[in-house]
Structures are given as C-alpha cells and as structure tokens.
Amino acid sequence: MKHFILVPDGAADWANPALGGKTPLQAAELANINALAAVSEVGSVQTIPDGIDPGSDAANIAILGYNPKTVLTGRAPLEAAAMGIPMREGETAFRASLVTLEGNGAYEDLLVKDHSAGDINDEDARSVITRIDRELGSENLRFYPGVSYRCLMIAKRINAEEKITPPHDILGRRVGDYLPAEPEIRRLMERGYAILKDGETAANAIWLWGQGKKPSLPPLSERYGVKGCMVAAVNLLKGIGRCAGLTCPDIPGATGTLHTNYGAKAECAVSAFREGADFVFLHVEAPDECAHSGDMDGKLRSLKHIDQEVLLPVLTYLKNSGNPFRILILPDHRTPLELRTHTSEPVPFLLYDSKNPLPPDGSRVFSEVCGERGAFLPSGEALADRFFGGSQG
Ligand SMILES: [Zn+2]
C-alpha cells in the first residue's frame, strides 16, 4: 500500500464576500481534486489541539500523527534540524526572520510592514544574516541563513521561556507593543535594526521568535511501519520530516512561494515512490503565503497549480503503478484572507482509498462546507491512525 499526503498550507478559509460568499477552496478550479472527492471520504479534522497556537509546526506534526502538545517546542529547532545545524546541549534555536519595518521614529514606534522582507531571495538573505552574525555573533550566539527570510539564531544562556508573537501576525502593528520581555532578546532585535536599517535590501530588521529546544519524535517507521519521504520547500517541514525519520530531498526551484516549481515537487514524489517509499508527504506553502499577503488571486492560482501540477501527475502515477494506494489531502490549518493569519478551526480532509472507493457523488467536493457535513475527527492522530491503519505490509 502506497500512502500520499498532500498539504496545501493554509488553504482552508472563510466564506468571502469578494468570491460571492464562497471560500477560496470552493472558488478555485480544482477539477482533479474534486473528481477524487466524489469517490472519497470528505470530513473535517481538528489539527490544532486546544490551547496550542495554530502554527504550521503544530498542525503538520499533528497530520503526521503526533500530539503537538507533547512533542512541540517551537518551530526554530525543527528548522535547525532541517538545515543540519548542530544544536548542543542546553542551546535554544530561534527563528531570526528577516523583516521590513517602516516609519522614522524610535525603534519601538516603527510598524511591521512585511514579515518576509519582500520575499527576499536566498543570496540576499545570506549576505544580510552573515552581516548580523559578524556584528552580533559570539561563541554562545550564532546566526544561520535559511530559505528566503527564514534565518535562524542558536543561543546559549538566554532566557527563552516566553512566547514571542510571530511577525506575520502583527503586520501593520507597532513594534513596541510586541517586543519580548526578556531584555537580551529585545537588545538583539533592536541592534539588528541599527545594523540593517540603511542596508540595500528590504530586510531592515530581524524578528526573533519560535524558539525551542530540540524535539524528539518517534520515527514513523516504528509507529506506522512506513518508510517515507518529505517533499517540501520550507525548512520547517523538512525539519519535521527529518525528526520523524523521513528523507527530505532538495527540490530544484521549490521556493515556498506562489512561483514555486509545482511540477518538480510532483516529480520528486513520484521518484520517491518509484525508489521504494511507502509514504510521501508533499507540502506546498504557497496558499498560506498568499493568504498572509492578502492576495486572493494568488491563493486561487496556487490552488489550481496544486490541482493540475501536483495532484494530477502523482495520482496518474499511483493509478498506473498497480499498487493499492491511499491519498489524504488536507490543509494544515485555515489562513483566512480576511484575517491574514492562521485560525484554530477544523479543516476539511479528503481521504481516498483505491481499494475501497466510495460510490461516486458529484456533490461531494473538497471544501470546508462538505468537510463539516462529513465525519469529524478530533485530532491529527485520529486521522493518521485511520489513514495508515490496517494497511501495513
Ligand atoms: Zn501552515
């Protein structure tokens, strides 16, 4: 049995007046996904447990069947794992996001303009973070480049207990209202701005958040008996994959944006299956990024790309391979365009089993509304148990 999970990040949304009251999933062209929905179970699942912030880290860990409440310590250590950055005993990893602040007053009165520094490219990001490391780094404090704006800081002896608001949640808001209480972290952020404010890129500051110690996830091979592969552009997902014992190949042209190389991701999934993987987890960041930017058209286009350039080739391969297979499609969480940030509400899922397809029903589509009409599963773990259950060997 082959297993394929497809996660269009943040695709679930709310009914939107600009779409005639439809959600983006309802409004997007999803011919292939909806043809599959007609013969699949469509339900909804609570990926984000009560009391946990609706981050992609918690949500994707849940989709893999782990309980975010017990294994999650923050997204930065997962990204460090993805990048092969060693973390020593007692160290804490922070996301050092490259951001754009705007305004002319004191640091605290500036506004958060862009959480991605204009989707800064890897090369510029590397030169910016290298400069930060040169000025602020020490034996106990190191900065590393990541994908685009997603850089990292590894720190020793810093009080990192508090939760710091992610920059994508405070677009247009005043910096001073969201700075962490810990003076050392505040100092580093303010120094970052002093160093970068007159630079040549849109990255004029760093925002430290998402910190944690290294997590331990029991491998999926032990848990569900599957050998698998994580196909993702962003380091957060690669880190989750590595920690769960999945291989995480680099994919040419996969950027985590609307302009990612969708076809290359599908090819990577197909190669992994061909080379013997039982399980592929394919994550596409684009719908979430578009929703954070309030880009409705981009969100719709990214969903169409996923339908045509990701699902279709993988589904075609699986159908032709002769092996029985299951496909699970679900967003990790909702990112309503209206809010431009994540929510904790349940998300729709689509579960197809080639051995037990449901009788065709054209009214069953992949949408929030259809999901609510179907089965409700209380956790990612319940869904993973159902998806992997009874199919080993
Ligand atoms: Zn997400």
pLDDT of residue 147: 86
CB within 8 A of 310, min separation 6: which ones?
6, 262, 263, 265, 266, 269, 282, 284
Q: What six digits make up the tokens of 225?
A: 């008996």
Percent of the chain with pLDDT over 70: 99
> Do 362 and 279 belong to one domain?
yes
Residue-level pLDDT at 348: 98
For residue 74, how far is its CA from the centre of ligand 1 (angstroms)?
Answer: 14
Residues 212-255 pLDDT 10s: 988 778 999 999 999 999 999 988 899 899 889 999 999 988 88
The 10s digit of each residue's pLDDT in 20-53 is 999 999 999 999 999 999 999 999 999 999 999 9
In a domain, 80, yes or no: no
Q: Are 343 and 264 within one domain?
A: yes
Which of 191, 212, 233 finishes a domain? 212
Flag whether 175 is in a domain.
yes
How far does residue 286's CA lie from ligand 1's centre (Å)?
10
- Asked if residue 77 is part of any domain, the answer here is no
> Cα of 135 to ligand 1 centre, how many Å?
33
CA of 373 to the centre of ligand 1 (A): 23
Identify whether residues 164 and 256 lie together within a single domain. no
| Last residue in a domain, options 168, 188, 212 | 212
pLDDT at 82: 81
Domain endpoint, select from 212, 230, 250? 212
Ligand 1 centroid distance, CA of 315 (Å): 23
Give the per-residue pLDDT at 387: 97
Task: Give the pLDDT confidence of 48-68 residue by residue, as tens digits.
Answer: 999 999 999 999 999 999 999
Give yes or no: residues 253 and 202 share one domain: no
Q: Are 279 and 208 found together in one domain?
A: no
Q: What is the pLDDT of residue 10?
A: 98
In a domain, 393, yes or no: no
Pair (118, 178) in one structural domain: yes
In the prediction, which pLDDT does 392 show?
A: 41
- Supply the range of the domain harboring residue 171: 85-212
Is 319 inside any structural domain? yes
| Dist CA 54 CA 184 (whole Å) | 27
Cβ partners under 8 Å of residue 128, min gap 6: 98, 120, 151, 196, 199, 201, 203
Mean pLDDT value across residues 277-299: 96
Residue 393 pLDDT > 50, yes or no?
A: no
Ligand 1 centroid – CA 12 distance (Å): 10
Per-residue pLDDT tens digits for 96-139: 999 999 998 999 999 999 999 999 999 999 999 999 999 999 99
pTM surpassing 0.85? no
Give the tens place of pLDDT for each residue, 307-352: 999 999 999 999 999 999 999 999 999 999 999 999 999 999 999 9
Q: Is 321 in the same domain as 362?
A: yes
Q: Is 128 left (phi over 0), alpha (psi -120 to 50) or beta?
A: alpha
The reply to whether 90 and 151 lie within a common domain is: yes
The answer as to whether 183 is a domain residue is yes
Residue 309 lies in a domain: yes
Give distance in angstroms: CA of 56 to centre of ligand 1.
4
Q: Give the CATH number of the domain where residue 320 resides.
A: 3.40.720.10
Whether 157 and 281 share a structural domain: no
Return contacts of 291-297, CB within 8 angstroms, 24+ apart.
Answer: 291/10, 291/13, 291/335, 291/336, 291/337, 291/340, 292/10, 292/115, 292/168, 292/171, 292/335, 292/340, 292/341, 293/340, 294/337, 294/340, 295/258, 295/337, 296/16, 296/18, 296/19, 296/24, 296/337
Identify whether residues 259 and 364 lie together within a single domain: yes
- CA–centroid distance, residue 175 to ligand 1 (Å): 24
Å from CA of 341 to ligand 1 middle = 10
Give the tens place of pLDDT for each residue, 63-98. Answer: 999 999 988 888 899 889 888 898 888 899 999 999
Same domain as 329, residue 245: yes
Tell whether 130 and 277 lie within a shared domain: no
Ligand 1 mean position, distance from CA 40 (Å): 24
Q: In the chain, how many domains are there? A: 2
79 domain residue, yes or no: no
